[in-house]
Amino acid sequence: MLMEEARRAVVRYGCLLLEKKLTQGTAGNVSAFDPATGLLAISPSGIPYEATRPEDVVICDIDGNVVEGDRKPSSELGLHAALYRVRPDFGGIVHAHSMYATTLACMREPLRPLHFALLSAGEGEVPLADYATFGTAELANAAARAIGQMNAVLLQNHGILAAGKDIAKAFQVLEDCEWCAEVQWRCMCAGKMAVLDADQLADAARMYRGYGQKK
């Protein structure tokens, strides 16, 4: 079986999406990309996360052709592939309809740098991709155009896509974005919001890069 470890990670983080209430039902999808082979492992379409087994995960090439697997790949395969194409540094992607990120996406508001927790998504605001119907090439192109050097992008009236060097990192970016989206939504409800300015963000980014245990 190709990409066994990636298949297990797709299953594990799919279940975590549900456990942590970051998505509803079978909404959302998870993938891993291996630049060495050009293959990606992605959630199957419409199978409940808790019922998905590693052998249900579909292996595709970057053009969307199924290379291994009996299942139909996620309807957002094109979205994942488009992001791996524009950002070769990505090895994992998580797409979800988490409550607060989706709320901002429906307000057509980007996720603004109010708090340093957003730095896992990059130094700046998480942009909004132009609206396009879910599951289409237009949506894939809009997200690929919008993401720039950030590690996440909001999909108007849809949800969020978070990415990183692997699925674990992408999942952390998603959790950080969701927390920051709730903070922003609360600020908007209260009618007052102070965004970090460029110097404050640059100083916080410097601290963020040095944060944690030395390798």
Sign of CA dihedral 179, 183, 188, 194: negative
76 given a catalytic annotation: yes
User: Rounded to the nearest whole angstrom, what is the least distance from the CB of residue 193 to Zn ion in the complex?
Assistant: 27
Q: Could you tell me the smallest distance in angstroms from the CB atom of residue 97 to Zn ion?
A: 6
Q: Measured from the CB atom, is 14 or 159 closer to Zn ion?
A: 159
Q: Which residues bind Zn ion (CB under 5 A)?
A: 159
Closest residue to Zn ion: CB criterion:
159
Q: Which is nearer to Zn ion, 29 or 204 (CB)?
A: 29
Set 5, 76, 123, 178: catalytic member: 76
Q: Residue-wise over 173-210: b if at least 16 C-beta within 10 A, else e?
A: bbbbbbbbbbbbbebeeeeeeeebeeeebeebbeebee
Which is nearer to Zn ion, 79 or 119 (by Cβ)? Answer: 79
Q: How far apart are the first and last CA of the chain?
A: 33
Distance CA 26, CA 96 (A): 10
Minimum distance of Zn ion from residue 27's CB (angstroms): 6
Residue with tokens 């990183």: 164
Tell me which residue of 61, 86, 46, 52 sits closest to 3, measured CA to CA.
61
Least separation in angstroms between residue 47's CB and Zn ion is 15
Of 69 and 159, the one with the shorter C-beta distance to Zn ion is 159
Residues carrying an active site annotation: 76
